[in-house]
Structure 1
Amino acid sequence: MTTNEMPPVATPRVAAGALFFDAEGRVLLVRPSYKDHWDIPGGYVEPGESPRTACIREIAEELSLTVEVGRMLIVDWAPTATEGDKLLFVFDAGSLSTRQEQAIRFADGELTEWRYVRPQDLEGYSPARLARRIQTAISARNGAPAAYAEHGHQR
């Protein structure tokens, strides 16, 4: 088979995000200035960059925090009509100390605020598929295996 005969292959956008928790088990959400809903800290992976490295970079850029992230909790196949094919990785970022919370700064202007949200309240802050993705990631953090999902539905 020659190059011209090769079938098309997917070229999804890849993004990575982090789940931070407080002592009460609430999830840290951020409010992007360019979206009409809340999200988790994170963003797109750059060419040649791993999802884990992108997650750490995005946390530094968005929250002005230098942190390590733990294990991958979920990878979600989540194409959209406007952005095409997408693969979304979510990593466990543990808990922030009071000092880290006080150090949060929105240096790049992408975010306008942050807050902790109870898992059962996520759908009031984000689209249903993001809430499902976060819920599945929380299950993995609480002892279930890392998950593969499609539109937030575990498969």
Structure 2
Amino acid sequence: MVTSSAADAQDGRAGRELMAAAGVLFPDGQGRVLVVRLPYDRKHPVAIPGGGWEPEDLSPRRTAVREIAEELGFTPRLGPLACIDWTLDDLRPPIAAHLYWAEPLTPEQSAAFTPDAAEVGGWAWLTPEQAGHALPPRLSRRVGACLRAPRSAGPLELEDSLPAGHTLDHLAAEPPVDYTGLAGVALTGGADRPTAGAAAPPLDRATYIATRPRIRAKARTLFTAADGRVLLVRLRPWDGPGGEEPYWVLPGGGIEADRELPRAAARREVREELGWECEPGRLLALDWLPGREADPASRRDTAVLVYVFDGGTVTEEQLASAVLAEDELVELRLCDQEEARSLLSAGSWARTAAALAARHRPGGPAELVGGRPAD
């Protein structure tokens, strides 16, 4: 029997897989945010409502809605994506964490919570300062960034919960705050201390992480000429379905998830494929491509998250200096939008068009599912 790890190594995906999660920021009319106590976690008992992606979830947005329904017993009305945060950790696979804004809850809605006791051992409304101390450090930085930045800057781009890309225009990295956990937090609907009746986690940490589903991610870069034509590259044919057909994409490829962040991957892919040293610009689009368990029409075995960065304007000199990766690419071409639409797959063109449009508006990346707006 071939294990999933062995299969990944055989098909070249080892090291490229990561986990995905989605949380929800519930504000109230007093500038506070909702946090919950995790009854099974004594080390980090305070969290934002939400949880891990499952293969049947069509998108992280659906993950967020499902998790709130399971944890707190109601269906939230989500607003825009607040941030995307890619975090690395020596003790677990990386995580692509999505945080969403929700419509403020009324006191009546809060009073009607019907939490799953195994998942939620109480809740509290905390000011940004209180939340900064109560949440574990990485989550504290992530949530703090969303609470401090203007909404118009969203979605924020974070790497290891620190500002990246356009987020640096709105936020400076702040010094860490003291982590106090539940100390001083008055909970509703549960015990005030994690040791009081705390349930043991159903699985130990290593086993839990090993059983969690994985996604993959890609980093692509949008280059255009001064006249607006889009730079596309044609992949070398490969063995497999459709492998002999001409296949055009934006420059880029898979993120080595266990060793690099998305911006580093975009930089590396451009260097390897084209021979250029380019610093990625703004993150223009985040495109979630569902796997077959969520979308039976998909040929993907799992979901793929595509980052599209702005590569800016390419010059004639830069094009002349391009050195194509012979084992990957056959040619590059500048295409007007009509030709690009004809060469790219429907989903890839929709994603490219959304990235082009994002260049002309402020704020963070477009949130997409299969190239289309996520909402």
Alignment match, 2:251: 41
Alignment match, 2:346: 128
1:80-119 alignment, distance < 5 Å = 80-119=298-337
How far is 1:107 from its partner? Answer: 3.3
Aligned AA (1:123): R
Aligned residues: percent identity? 33
Q: Is the 8 A contact 1:78 1:150 kept in 2?
A: yes
How far is 1:10 from its partner? Answer: 3.8
Select the structure with the greater relative contact order (CA < 8 A; seq sep ≥ 6).
Answer: 1
Aligned AA (2:233): V
Q: Is the 8 A contact 1:30 1:113 kept in 2?
A: yes
Q: Is the 8 A contact 1:32 1:112 kept in 2?
A: yes
How far is 1:108 from its partner? Answer: 4.2
1:1-155 alignment, distance < 5 Å = 1-3=201-203, 9-34=212-237, 35=243, 36=245, 37-46=247-256, 47-79=258-290, 80-143=298-361, 145=363, 146-155=365-374
- How far does the alpha carbon of each residue in 1:93-116 deviate from its partner, in whole angstroms, 9 at most, with x for none? 001122111100113421111111
Task: Tell me the TM-score normalized by structure 1.
Answer: 0.91
**Matches of 1:68 and 1:95, distance apart in 2:** 12
Larger-Rg structure = 2
Q: Is the 8 A contact 1:10 1:85 kept in 2?
A: no
Q: Name the stretch that deviates more: 136-145 or 60-69.
A: 136-145
Q: Which runs of 5+ in 2 are unaligned?
A: 1-200, 238-242, 291-297
Q: Is the 8 A contact 2:214 2:302 kept in 1?
A: no
How far is 1:45 from its partner? Answer: 0.5
- How far does the alpha carbon of each residue in 1:2-38 deviate from its partner, in whole angstroms, 9 at most, with x for none? 3269596441111000000001111100001035321
Aligned AA (1:143): R
Secondary structure of the structure 2 residue equivalent to 1:43: strand
Superposed CA RMSD in Å reads 1.9
Aligned AA (1:128): A
**Matches of 1:103 and 1:83, distance apart in 2:** 37
Q: Which runs of 5+ in 1 are unaligned?
A: none
Task: Tell me the TM-score normalized by structure 2.
Answer: 0.39
- How far does the alpha carbon of each residue in 1:68-100 deviate from its partner, in whole angstroms, 9 at most, with x for none? 110100010013423421000000000112211
**Matches of 2:316 and 2:269, distance apart in 1:** 20
**Matches of 1:18 and 1:154, distance apart in 2:** 19
**Matches of 2:261 and 2:213, distance apart in 1:** 18
**Matches of 1:24 and 1:127, distance apart in 2:** 23
